[in-house]
Structure 1
Amino acid sequence: MIPMTTDRLLLRLPDDDDLAPFTAMNADPEVMRYIGDGSVLPPDPDRTAAWIARARREWQASGHGLLSVVVRETGLTAGWVTLTVPAFLPEILPAVEIGWRLGRAYWGNGYATEAAGRLLRFGFAECDLDRIVSIRHVDNQRSRRVMDKLGLRFAFETVVPGHGRPVAVHEITRAAHEEPSPHPRLP
Structure 2
Amino acid sequence: MPELLTARLRLRPWRDDDLDPLAEMYADPEVMRYIGDGSVRAREETAASLSRMRVEWEERGHGMFAVELRRTGELTGWTGTTVPDFLPEVLPGVEIGWRLAHRFWGRGLATEAARAALGHAFDIVGLERVLSICNVDNAASEGVMRKLGMRLDRETEVPSHGTRVRVYAVTREEYANRRD
TM-score if structure 1 supplies the norm length? 0.92
SS of the residue aligned with 2:125? coil
Structure 2: gaps spanning 5 or more residues: none
Q: Does 2:39 correspond to 1:27?
A: no
Q: Which aligned pairs between 1:173-184 and structure 2 lie closer than 5 A?
A: 173-180=171-178
Q: How does 1:3-152 map to 2 (within 5 A)?
A: 3-42=3-42, 44=43, 46-152=44-150
Q: CA 1:16 to 1:178, structure 2 compared with 1: closer, same or farther past 3 Å?
A: same
Q: Is the 8 A contact 1:89 1:160 kept in 2?
A: yes
Q: Distance in 2 between matches of 1:179 and 1:49?
A: 39
Aligned to 1:86, what secondary structure does the other structure show?
coil
Change over 3 Å in CA distance of 1:53–1:41 after alignment to 2: closer
In the TM superposition, what whole-angstrom CA distance separates every residue of 1:63-113 from its partner, at most 9, and x where no partner exists?
A: 101111000011100000120000000001010000000000000111100
Structure 1 outlier segments of 4+, above 2 Å: 46-51
CA distance in 2 between partners of 1:133 and 1:24 (Å): 27
Counting matched residue pairs gives 180
Question: Percent identity of the aligned residues?
Answer: 51
1:169 aligned partner: 167
**Stretch moving more, 24-33 or 46-55:** 46-55
Contact 2:133 2:167 in 1 (8 A): yes
TM-score (norm 2): 0.96
CA RMSD of aligned residues (A): 1.3
- Residue of structure 1 aligned with 2:156, choices 155, 158, 167: 158
Unaligned runs of 5+ in 1: none
Q: Is the contact between residue 15 and residue 52 of structure 1 (CA under 8 Å) also seen in structure 2?
A: no
